[in-house]
Homo-oligomer: A and B are copies of this chain.
Amino acid sequence: MKDNYHHGDLRNALIEAGIKIINENGEDALSLRKVAAACGVSHAAPYAHFPDKESLLSAIKETVTNDFLSELEKAANGSKVKNAQEAIMAMGERYILFFRNNPDYFNFLFHKQKPEVHTDMSKDYPNDYAPFLMFKRYLNKYFEESGIRLSAKEKEIGLIKTWGLVQGLSSIAGMENVNATISWKVLAKECLK
C-alpha cells in the first residue's frame, strides 16, 4: 500500500516547502533532499519535476517574484494615487520596503542570475524582469502626461535613474540603521522633475 506514488501536486508542494525552508533557515539550508523529505517523498523524487536543483530554485524565484509584483501593482493602484508620477513614487517605496522586510530575498533573487532588462524606452521587451517592465511602462506614461518633450536618449537616462535608484537602494535596504526609503523619496522627486 505505497500511497506515496502520485502525490497529486508534488511540483507545487516542493516549491512551497522550498520557500518555507528559505524563510525559516535561509537559502543555504535548502537542499533538494530536505525539500523532498518535507514533502514526504524520496530524495530523488524532485527529478520527475525539475531537471536539477537550480531549476527548482528558479521556480521558487518565479513565485516569489509574482508575489512581489502583485504588491507593486497594489501600490500603483492605491486610492491616493492620482497620476503616473505618484504611481511611480508609491511603487518605488513599496519596492524598497519589500526588500527591507525580506532582506534575504534580494540576494536570493539576484545573486546567480542577473535580471534581464532593456533600457530602450521605445520598445517593449516582454521577457524583461517584470518589476522593471512595470517601471518602464509607468515612466512612459509619466512622460506622456507631463508633456515635456524628451529625446530617446534622455528618456533612457530617466529610466536608468529611476529604476536603477529603486533597485539599487533596495540592495542596501536590509542593512541596519539605513533608511533607504528616505533616499528614495528625496531623490525620486529630483528624478521626476
The answer to whether A178 touches B110, judged by C-beta atoms less than 8 angstroms apart, is: no
Stretch of A8-16, A38-46, A66-74, A164-172 with 4 or more beta carbons under 8 angstroms from chain B = A164-172
Bound-state Cα–Cα, A60 to B26, Å? 23
For A101-117 the 0/1 string (1 means CB < 8 A from B) is 00100010011001111
Minimum CB–CB distance from A116 to chain B (whole Å) comes to 8
Main secondary structure of the interface of A (DSSP, over half): helix
Cα(A190)–Cα(B120), bound, Å: 24
Considering the complex, which residues of chain A in the window 163-186 have a beta carbon less than 8 Å from any beta carbon of chain B?
A: 164-165, 167-172, 174-180, 182-183, 186
Binding site for B on A (CB under 8 A): 103, 107, 110-111, 114-120, 157, 160-161, 164-165, 167-172, 174-180, 182-183, 186-187, 190-191
List 30 A-B residue pairs with CB atoms under 8 Å apart, sorted by A's residue number. Answer: A103-B114, A107-B107, A107-B111, A111-B111, A114-B174, A114-B175, A114-B176, A116-B176, A118-B177, A120-B177, A157-B183, A160-B178, A160-B179, A160-B183, A161-B183, A161-B186, A161-B187, A164-B168, A164-B169, A164-B172, A164-B178, A164-B180, A165-B168, A165-B183, A168-B169, A168-B171, A168-B180, A171-B171, A187-B187, A190-B190
